Amino acid sequence: MGDLTMLRSRHLLGIEDLEPAEISLILDTAVAMKEVGTRSIKKVPALRGRTVVNLFFEPSTRTRLSFELAEKRLSADTMGMTTAGSSVVKGETLIDTARTLEAMSPDMIVVRHACSGAAHVLARVCRSSIINAGDGTHEHPTQALLDAFTIQGRKGRLAGVRVAIIGDLAHSRVLRSNVLLLTRMGAEVVACGPATLIPVGLGRMGVTVTTSIDEACEGADVLMMLRVQHERMHGLFLPSVREYFTLFGLTAARLARAKSDAIVMHPGPMNRGVEIASDVADGNQSVILDQVANGVAVRMAVLYLLAGGEQNEGA
Amino acid sequence: MPVVMDADRVAKSLTRIAHEIIERNRGIDDLRLVGIRTRGVPIAQRLAACLKDITGTEVPTGVLDITLYRDDLMGHDVGPQPLVRSTEIPFDIDGRDVLLVDDVLYTGRTIRAALDALIDFGRPRSIQLMVLVDRGHRELPIRADYVGRNVPTSKKESVRVHLVEIDGRDEVEVA
Amino acid sequence: MKTLLKGGRVIDPVAGRDGQFDVLIDGDRVAKIGKGIPAGDARVIDVPAGFIVAPGLIDMHVHLREPGQEHKETIATGLASAVAGGFTAVACMPNTSPVNDQAGITQFILKRAAEAGLARVYPIGAVSIGSNGEQLTEIGDLRQAGCVAITDDGKPVGTALLMRRALEYASMFMMPVIEHCEDPSLKGDGVAHEGAVASLLGLKGIPACAESIMAERDISLAELTGGRVHIAHMSARQTLRAVRDGKARGVHVTCEVTPHHFTLTDEAIRGYDTNTKMNPPLREEADRQAMIDGLRDGTIDAIATDHAPHHADEKALEFDKAPFGIVGLETAIPLCVSRLIEPGLIDWPRLIDLLSAAPARILGLPGGTLAEGGPADITVIAPAAAVTVRAAALRSKSKNTPFDGWALKGAAAATIVGGRVVFVNDAVAGAERFQ
Q: A117 and C203: CB-CB below 8 Å?
A: yes
Residue A234 has pLDDT above 70, yes or no: no
Q: Do B65 and A32 touch (CB under 8 A)?
A: yes
Of A6, A44, A46, the CB nearest to B80: A6
Q: What pLDDT does A232 receive? A: 72
Please give the pLDDT value at position A87.
56
Give per-residue pLDDT as tens, C20-59: 999 999 999 999 999 999 999 999 999 999 999 999 999 9
Task: Pick the closest to residue C209 from C243, C236, C232, C231 (CA basis).
Answer: C236
C18 included as an active-site residue: no
Rounded Cα–Cα distance for residues A42 and A44 (Å): 7
Q: Inform me whether the C-beta atom of residue B168 falls under 8 Å from chain A C-beta atoms.
A: no
CB contact under 8 A, A200 and C194: yes
Q: Testing the interface with A: which of B74, B76, B84 to mutate, by most A Cβ within 10 A?
A: B84
Q: What local confidence, expressed as pLDDT, does residue A84 receive?
A: 58
Asked whether B64 and B37 are in contact (CB, 8 A), the reply is: yes
Q: One-letter amino acid identity for A51?
A: T
**The pLDDT of residue A92:** 84
The pLDDT tens digits for C160-182 are 999 999 999 999 999 999 999 99
Nearest to A53 by CA among A105, A8, A116: A105
Query: C188-199 pLDDT, tens per residue?
Result: 999 999 999 999
Range with the lowest mean pLDDT among A62-71, A118-127, B73-82? Answer: B73-82
Contacts of B82 in chain A (CB under 8 A): 5
State yes or no: pLDDT of C14 exceeds 60: yes
φ and ψ at residue C269, rounded to 5 degrees: -85, -10
The pLDDT value recorded for residue B83 is: 85
User: With an 8 Å Cβ cutoff, are B81 and A308 in contact?
Assistant: yes
CB pairs under 8 A between A and B: 77
Share of chain C above pLDDT 70, in %: 100
**Cβ-count burial A223-247 (b if 16+ within 10 Å, e if not):** bbbbbbeeebbeeebbeebeebbee
Rounded to an integer, the average pLDDT of A26-43 is: 92
Q: Using pLDDT thresholds of 50, 70 and 90, give the confidence band for residue A314.
A: very low
The answer to whether residues B128 and B122 touch, using CB atoms and an 8 Å cutoff, is no
Nearest by CB to residue A121, choosing from C197, C200, C318, is C318
Taking the C-alpha atoms of residue A249 and residue A274, their distance in angstroms, rounded to an integer, is: 6
- In our burial notation (b when 16+ CB lie closer than 10 A, e otherwise), range C156-181 reads bbbeeebbbbbbebbbebebbbbbbb
Angstrom distance (rounded) from CA A219 to CA A230: 30
Residue closest to C11 by CA, chosen among C57, C46, C43, C45? C57
Return d(Cα B148, Cα B160) in angstroms, integer.
14
Domain boundaries, chain B: 3-74+82-174
Which positions in chain A touch B116 (Cβ < 8 Å)?
45
Q: Give me the pLDDT at residue A311, please.
A: 46
B20 vs A85 pLDDT, higher one: B20
SS3 helix, strand, coil % of chain B, rounded to 5? 30, 25, 45
Marked catalytic residue, from C152, C287, C306, C353:
C306
Reply yes or no on domain B3-74+82-174 having CATH 3.40.50.620: no
Residues B28-45, mean pLDDT to the nearest whole number: 95
Q: pLDDT tens digits for A155-168?
A: 999 999 999 999 99
- Is A313's pLDDT higher than 50? no
Rounded to an integer, the average pLDDT of A246-270 is 95
Domains and CATH numbers, chain C: 2-53+374-434 (2.30.40.10), 56-363 (3.20.20.140)
Torsion sign, CA atoms B140, B146, B152, B156: negative
* Beta carbons of A133 and A60 less than 8 angstroms apart: yes
CB of C321 less than 8 A from some CB of A: yes
Q: Which residue has the higher pLDDT, C128 or A81?
A: C128
B38 touches chain A (CB under 8 A): no
Is the confidence at residue B76, as pLDDT, over 70?
no
**pLDDT value of residue B70:** 85
Contact assignment for C271 to A205 by CB distance below 8 Å:
no
Model pLDDT for residues B105-154, shown as the tens digit of each residue: 999 999 999 999 999 899 999 999 999 999 999 999 999 999 999 999 99
% residues pLDDT > 90 (chain B) = 85
What's the half-sphere exposure (Cβ side, CA atoms, 13 Å) at C59? 34
C77 pLDDT tier (thresholds 50, 70, 90):
very high
Query: How many beta-carbon pairs under 8 angstroms link A with C?
Result: 65
pLDDT on residue A86: 54
Q: Nearest-CA neighbor of B80 among A4, A23, A308?
A: A308
Mean pLDDT of C281-299: 98
Among A241-245, C142-146, C191-195, name the one with the lowest average pLDDT. Answer: A241-245
C362-383: average pLDDT: 97
By Cβ distance, the residue of C198, C316, C321 closest to A115 is C321
- What pLDDT does B72 receive? 73
- The model's pTM is 0.90
CB of B67 within 8 Å of a chain A CB? The answer is yes
B87 contacts in A (CB within 8 Å)?
A: 32, 35-36
CA-based nearest residue to C79, from C104, C106, C115, C41? C115
DSSP readout, B114-164? HHHHHHTT---SEEEEEEEEE----SSS---SEEEEE----TT--EEEE-H
Q: Which of A41, A43, A304 sits opposite B81 (nearest CB)?
A: A304
